[in-house]
Chains A and B, each alone.
Chain A
Amino acid sequence: MVARMRPAFRGTELGLIFWVALLVGLGFLAVIGAGASALQASSLIVPATFVAVAVALHLFLAVRGSRGDQLLLPLALGLTAIGLVMVERLAPPVLLLQQLTWTVVAAGAFVAATLIPRDLTVLARYKYSWALAGIALLASPLLPVIGRELNGARIWIGLGDLLNFQPAEAVKILLVIFFASYLEENRELLASAPARRLGSVVPPLAYLVPIVLMWVLAMGVMVLQKDLGATLIFFGIFLAMIYLATGRATYALTGVVLLLAGGSLAARVFAHVGARIDVWLAPFSDELRFGAGYQLVQGLFALGNGGLLGAGLGNGMPDRIPVVWSDFVFAAFTEEVGFIGAIGLLALYLVLVFRGMSIALRAPTPFLQLLAAGLSFGLAFQTLVIVGGNAKLIPLTGVTLPFLSYGGSSLVTNFVIIALLIRVSDITVRVRGG
């Protein structure tokens, strides 16, 4: 343990954080400069605090002597910086301070996750406890006193007016931990080819138990909490991980069929699911254009309005999109920085996910491999689901754009994911050397 504390020089990380600091400074300058009020020293408190947090996190890793990845933290901070700029641009001022507070909380969570003992096996050892904790958290919004229903979905817990937390976000990590350790133990059984009878491609019943249980859980989330986004993310992560662990496409295909069947049934039975599908299919229709489809229609106009170079940061018309700061940050950002800026933003996610997947490939044990791959896939899939939803590629579901959307639970969760990925790469470097 003593040797671990020897400080490490993390030059690449520090160099990149310098550019993040410049990015957040210019972003705030552009947004405030375009506003009605004059530029004041006090308006730069938020970016200054953010830069201080960023440098503190870098110094923490350096002093602790982490030899883990140096790209992940700057990428996460860069995206968070753009997120803060967009909250300043789009949301009421009180939300900006809340988001800054959440950024500090997220930094604290990052530090806490970095301190998890040595080789993270503690995560694998108590897998059923983590799974139970996850399910309990997931169910907590259904409880009377602390549960909250906002915008038609009962997915929040909170005390008082502030500090609403969306437990489904944190559950994502717990589920990935559980899947990783469960699959590490059982992949022999799951991957072994059952005796092939003529024409039989579907594995026998015993092999289907976990996938069916997970499907029941996912559908439960959709029915009881009306949270389409979480349903999609949980199930997507599960299918990706079972495929990674077993290499059998049958599981993924069975899962997709189950999901489509469940989805189309739900669209008929539950009004809120059906409404999403209708809006997705024909948002410009006469009944929906100024009704349920209004948000998506305005979002599409914003995307198109951006053109190649955008209207200029602070110069768009994002106010036209209702609750733009949570579900439509991507559309608002694209309107102001154009195709060029949107591609740059998506490329940041690409590098982040690519890096996560390379960490997974190099990790020394199947558990760490599955953990890193599952967390990285979750980030990628969630980005796809919300950006695809903004662009009317798939039905819109209310998930956050990682690091960017306004929302504390999401930010905290994503910083824990980054901390875990850095830990996995740190362990890899120590085990493999070099």
Chain B
Amino acid sequence: MDVPYQIALWGVRLAFLVVLYVFLIRAFGSLWRALRTEAELAARPALAYLVVQRTHAQGPRAGERLPLRTISSLGRDAGNDVVVNDEAASARHATVTLSDGAWWLEDQGSTNGTLLNGQRIVRRERLRDGDIVEIGRVGLRFEAAA
């Protein structure tokens, strides 16, 4: 085979590697941007908080402000947005959601129930600033940000 053909062939081989890396770098770039957006979202002030009122040795610290998202899960499991470490708490105990401009508390079929201002809730209940949510031995005060 003649020399120009060989040079062209090596050009194609090199271009293959270059394109492989361009593809890789663009994929990495997209990954990086996604991670940064996520970090920025996490840094934004929360819409509302649950402030720990009553707790025990293994539970969350008293006075701690736990940030809430538009949908937050509460429970003993480490995968929850708000982890309530208490023997009486179920793995997925309750959820707090923001919808139709209001905050709502809902029990997720927990074994020992969720208390709102001392009353065990049955279905979805509206949450107002200063309400007390109780899960097991842990008491949390709801605090809307705005």
List the interface of chain A (C-beta within 8 A of B): 12, 15-16, 19-20, 22-23, 26-27, 29-30, 33-34, 70-71, 74-75, 78, 82, 187-188, 247, 312-315, 337, 340-341, 344-345, 347-348, 351, 354-355, 358, 364, 366, 369, 431-434
Contact = CB atoms under 8 A, between A and B. Distances in A.
Contact of B31 (A71, A78, A82, A345): A71
Interface of B: 8-10, 12-13, 15-17, 19-24, 26-28, 30-31, 34, 41, 69-71, 77-79, 91-92
A347 B91 contact: no
Contact of A344 (B15, B24, B79): B24
B23 A313 contact: no
Contacts of A434: 41
A348 B22 CA distance: 12
Given A30-B9, A188-B91, A432-B70, A348 B27 contact: yes
Contacts of B23: 16, 19-20, 23, 74, 78, 348
Contacts of B78: 247
A382 to B, nearest CB: 20
A27 B16 contact: yes
A355 B13 CA distance: 29
A19 B22 contact: yes
Contact of A337 (B17, B26, B69, B77): B17
B112 to A, nearest CB: 14
Contacts of B22: 19
Nearest to B91: A188
A22 B27 CA distance: 15
A371 to B, nearest CB: 14
A23 B26 contact: no
A23 B27 contact: no
A23 B31 CA distance: 20
Given A16-B26, A22-B19, A313-B16, 4 more contacts: A26-B12, A313-B12, A351-B27, A355-B31
A12 B30 contact: yes
A366 B79 contact: yes
A369 B79 CA distance: 10
23 contacts: A16-B26, A19-B19, A19-B22, A23-B16, A26-B15, A30-B9, A30-B16, A33-B8, A70-B30, A74-B23, A313-B12, A313-B16, A314-B13, A315-B13, A344-B20, A344-B24, A347-B28, A348-B23, A358-B34, A369-B79, A432-B70, A432-B71, A433-B70
Contacts, number: 85
Contacts of A315: 13
Contact of A16 (B30, B41, B77, B92): B30
A240 to B, nearest CB: 16
A29 B122 CA distance: 67
Given A26-B12, A369-B79, A432-B70, A344 B26 contact: no
Contacts of B20: 23, 82, 337, 341, 344-345
Contacts of A71: 27, 30-31
Interface of A is mostly: helix
Contacts of A70: 30
Nearest to B18: A26
B56 to A, nearest CB: 18
A340 to B, nearest CB: 7
B76 to A, nearest CB: 9
Given A188-B91, A247-B78, A341-B20, A30 B13 contact: yes
B24 A351 contact: yes
Given A19-B19, A188-B91, A341-B17, A29 B26 contact: no
Given A12-B30, A33-B9, A74-B27, A23 B19 contact: yes
Nearest to B8: A33
A354 B23 CA distance: 16
Nearest to A369: B79
Given A341-B20, A432-B70, A433-B70, A312 B27 contact: no
A341 B17 CA distance: 7
Contacts of B17: 337, 340-341, 344
Contacts of A247: 78
Contacts of B13: 30, 312-315
B86 to A, nearest CB: 14
B31 A34 contact: no
B12 to A, nearest CB: 5
Most chain-A Cβ atoms within 10 A of its Cβ — which of B8, B20, B69, B92? B20
A345 B79 CA distance: 33
A388 to B, nearest CB: 22
A70 B31 CA distance: 10
A101 B27 CA distance: 27
A27 B20 CA distance: 10
B38 to A, nearest CB: 8
10 interchain residue pairs of minimum CB distance: A19-B23, A26-B16, A312-B13, A30-B12, A344-B20, A23-B19, A313-B13, A33-B9, A22-B19, A30-B13
A354 B34 CA distance: 12
A315 B17 CA distance: 14
